[in-house]
Amino acid sequence: MAVSMVRRFDTTELPPSGRSRAWSRNVQDLHFNMSVHIPDQTFFDGALDCYAVDSFQLVSFREPPASFHRGSDHIRSDGCDDVEIIAPIEGECIIEQFGRTAVTPVGSFVMFDATAPMRIFHAVPMSALLLKAKRGIFEQRVSDIERSCAHVIRCDVGIARLAGDFLRSLVTEVGYLAEHEFQSSCSQFVDLVALSLQRESGTADLTALSRDRTLKRIKAYIRRCSGNHDLTTSHVASALGLSERYVQALFKQDSTTPRQYLREQRLFAAHEQLCNPLYRNKSITQIAFESGFSSSSHFSEAFRAHYGYSPSTLRSQKDAGHTYS
């Protein structure tokens, strides 16, 4: 059976007043929950084609300047664990994730992880190709997904150029492929991406250490579920089919504990909401509770110990329009 297009959407077919809203809805349906901001909604011209089979989704699109933010609340709401690769073919995009900023021009690609907060934006119109796959597919090939995200790979020479050429050819020929051919081709593209990343990092090892992959999977689960007040190491271990002792041992090698990592993720989620004007109507107590803390006093104490200032100080600084880091 040939691969069929699962979605084609063009805003020019809609009244101007409803284009940006419809675009936001379609983008989230294809990817995951996130906040979408479109600076100029007076003239919106966006279009996309999407093909998908099982664990792979291939999209070509164009859109005007826009920004997309995926925060801890979005992650908890949908539990999406996909990894995506975006390759601009016109314009450029900027991706912020894991404390890094990647400016991705034409002739390059970049990877990002749906299990962690991120921001994607572009100040000029952009066209791009995008491949989305389940995290497990990348974990089999990429030794450290977190370190590989928001890291620009330039497709100028060598294996990276092959990867870029392969993706463009895949989009051109996808309508002529059978479903199993499409899946195999997508898998081979991920192989080329993994080789490109390994070349950048100076390693030729095609497989990640099992313990390292497992720790990343545990951390991703904790990030998704950090708002659950009843989350414990035992719960995490049981949910992932691991022993509690093994989970603790993995974190010990990482110089931390599951409990400490969970607390840091809850603090990060609260910090993110306190900085975001969209949550200005929420009280600090409400933000603390939704981030996983059962006591506002305990939250304030932990927040001050971690960041060096109180939640109320951060919020007042943000309300005054100052940067507070």
Measured CA to CA, the distance from residue 17 to residue 259 in angstroms comes to 48
Rounded percentage of the chain residues whose pLDDT exceeds 90: 58
What's the mean pLDDT in 247-264?
90
Q: Which of 201, 225, 259 is the last residue of a domain?
A: 201
List pLDDT tens digits, range 264-318. 999 999 998 888 888 888 899 999 999 999 988 999 999 999 999 999 998 887 6
Q: Which residue has the higher pLDDT, 120 or 214?
A: 120
DSSP conformational letter for 17: G
Q: What is the pLDDT of residue 321?
A: 58
138 lies in the same domain as 17: yes
Q: What is the pLDDT of residue 139?
A: 83
Q: What is the pLDDT of residue 207?
A: 38
The number of domains in the chain is 2
What's the mean pLDDT in 158-173?
94
Measured CA to CA, the distance from residue 123 to residue 121 in angstroms comes to 7
Q: What is the pLDDT of residue 211?
A: 72
106 lies in the same domain as 76: yes
Look at residue 325 and tell me if it is in a domain: no
39 lies in the same domain as 162: yes
Q: State residue 250 phi and psi, 5-degree precision.
A: -65, -40
The Cα-based distances of 183 to 54, 135, 308 in angstroms read 8, 15, 49
Q: Nearest Cα to 279, choosing from 264, 296, 291?
A: 291
Domain residue limits at 181? 5-201
pTM of the model: 0.66
Q: State residue 315 phi and psi, 5-degree precision.
A: -65, -40
Q: Nearest Cα to 51, choosing from 181, 171, 212?
A: 171
Is the pLDDT score of 203 beyond 60? no
**Residues contacting residue 8 through CB under 8 Å, at least 6 positions apart:** 48, 49, 50
Q: State whether the Cα torsion 249-252-254-256 is positive or negative.
A: positive
Q: Average model confidence (pLDDT) for the chain? A: 88
Angle between helices 158-173 and 179-201 (to 10 degrees): 160
Measured CA to CA, the distance from residue 270 to residue 260 in angstroms comes to 15
Is the pLDDT score of 325 beyond 60? no
